[in-house]
Structure 1
Amino acid sequence: MNDGTGLRLDTIAIRHGQRHLLAVDAHVRPGEVLTVMGPSGSGKSTLLALVAGFLDPAFAATGRVVLNGRDLSGLRPEQRRIGLLFQDALLYPHLSVGGNLLFGLVADVCGRALRRRTAEEALREVGLEGCFDRDPATLSGGEQARVALARTLLSRPEALLLDEPFSRLDADRRQAVRTLVFGLVRERGVPAMLVTHDRADADAAGGPVIEIGAMTPLP
């Protein structure tokens, strides 16, 4: 039963020109990860763009995205309270690790000392205690992914979108970051959507899986 919490994809359908791209109807509960799999060009990242609020105008969509009872239709991306993690960590190179976290920290955490303590606690949570003043360029790929995760969580998202965030990591780092990300999703009770080509990602996520196909002509 849908109790109004979590992320609801209510009869979503996306088209590109005269071609049907995908159709999804799903409810992602708090702390659950919905994995979306499919070949390149099947619309996985397009679906995330729709949920996040930056769908390219070349695509046409019907249906509703509802987050914790809020219909997100018409809301700008920054109004949706949705966090995103991508293949690349996308850290700001001109800022320290701590500066990157402070950039993502919500504005209602006031005062320089409190904001720094909050960022340092976030680093401890992802296993990077003592890295506040580090240059992001000195971090490994796995460490950069952890910083990106900490920065996203500091924005207090109500849902999390994961666009192949583990694909550029080697096998050992990939497993460690998977465990961290999915553990924090469950701990925080945040509904999450994962786009991936890797069945091992879906297995690690432990939630429902939707497989979508390549574009087909509209009837």
Structure 2
Amino acid sequence: MLRAEHLAFAYGKEAQTYDFSFEAEAGAVTAISGASGSGKSTLLDLIAGFLAPKSGTLALDGANLLPLPPETRPLSLLLQSDNLFDHLSAHENVALGLPKGVAKIEGRRRVEEVLQRVGLDGLAHQTAATLSGGQKQRVALARTLLRDRAILLLDEPFSALDDETRQVIRALVGELTRSEGWHTILVSHHEDDIAALATRRYRLAEGRLTPA
């Protein structure tokens, strides 16, 4: 279980004060909805460690995450922007997620395995610039698989996709969340995405999360 209790933050003395409490289960998608500017990205930044809370707790299976810097937190982030290097191939982009010290042959095997799992084994050597939006999100998901981290943060990850591709990638995210046991947190304005994926829902308003 990923659990936050009264995770508090404010950008300034006169700004909105946020107080976040939530639970996210392994193998399930927890969805956060709310109006633009309600603080959804602030919440993700606190979980990722890009912002430091004034008080409160954030723990994964009882282990405190707050002292950990962003680069050592057990999480991956999937955004509307795929964060790929256009000049690198799909294989090379995914390989960036390999831990240091992995032997070349073993690294190649791992990359090929995750590309196959997301349906991209035939496009491994195409540059990211030549891939479609859905294919790029598959590359980003393959890199997430390779990193093997317990938490997946999704910030409007399907917004740039057409409806047909959106449904396919959305289903893949749900499938991987269940099979890998990820604690997936989805921030979205789109009710269709939330309805298709979420097993637990919160609404963010006036700096607070409430079950929806």
TM-score, structure 1 normalization: 0.89
The aligned amino acid for 1:90 is N
Instruction: Find 1:19's aligned residue among 10, 15, 24.
Output: 15
The percentage of aligned residue pairs carrying the same residue is 42
Instruction: Find 1:175's aligned residue among 142, 147, 167.
Output: 167
The aligned amino acid for 1:15 is A
> Unpaired runs of 5+ in structure 2?
none
- Counterpart-to-counterpart distance in 1, 2:207 and 2:154: 22
SS of the counterpart of 1:115? Answer: helix
- Counterpart-to-counterpart distance in 1, 2:82 and 2:37: 23
1:94 matched residue in structure 2:
87
- Counterpart-to-counterpart distance in 2, 1:15 and 1:124: 43
2:78 matched residue in structure 1:
85
SS of the counterpart of 1:212? Answer: strand
Instruction: Find 2:42's aligned residue among 46, 60, 65.
Output: 46
- Counterpart-to-counterpart distance in 1, 2:155 and 2:106: 32
- Counterpart-to-counterpart distance in 2, 1:68 and 1:100: 31
- Counterpart-to-counterpart distance in 2, 1:185 and 1:8: 17
What is the correspondence of 1:13-162 to structure 2 with a 5 Å cutoff? 13-17=8-12, 18-55=14-51, 61-107=54-100, 110-162=102-154
Q: Deviations over 1:140-167 (max 9, x none)?
A: 1000001011112211111110011001
SS of the counterpart of 1:93? Answer: coil
Q: Structure 1 residue 13: deviation in Å?
A: 2.6
Q: Structure 1 residue 21: deviation in Å?
A: 4.1
Decide which moves more: 168-177 or 87-96: 87-96
SS of the counterpart of 2:123? Answer: coil
User: How large is the Cα RMSD of the aligned pairs?
Assistant: 1.7
- Counterpart-to-counterpart distance in 2, 1:215 and 1:206: 21
- Counterpart-to-counterpart distance in 2, 1:104 and 1:211: 32
Q: Structure 1 residue 198: deviation in Å?
A: 0.5
Contact kept? 1:123, 1:147, Cα under 8 Å: yes
Aligned length: 207
- Counterpart-to-counterpart distance in 1, 2:28 and 2:114: 21
1:10 matched residue in structure 2:
5
- Counterpart-to-counterpart distance in 1, 2:92 and 2:196: 31
Q: Deviations over 1:98-122 (max 9, x none)?
A: 11111112236x2212211110110
TM-score, structure 2 normalization: 0.92
SS of the counterpart of 1:202? Answer: helix
Decide which moves more: 66-75 or 142-151: 66-75
Q: Structure 1 residue 92: deviation in Å?
A: 1.1
The aligned amino acid for 1:99 is E
Contact kept? 1:22, 1:213, Cα under 8 Å: no
- Counterpart-to-counterpart distance in 1, 2:198 and 2:120: 26
SS of the counterpart of 1:66? Answer: strand
- Counterpart-to-counterpart distance in 2, 1:188 and 1:99: 23
- Counterpart-to-counterpart distance in 1, 2:199 and 2:100: 33
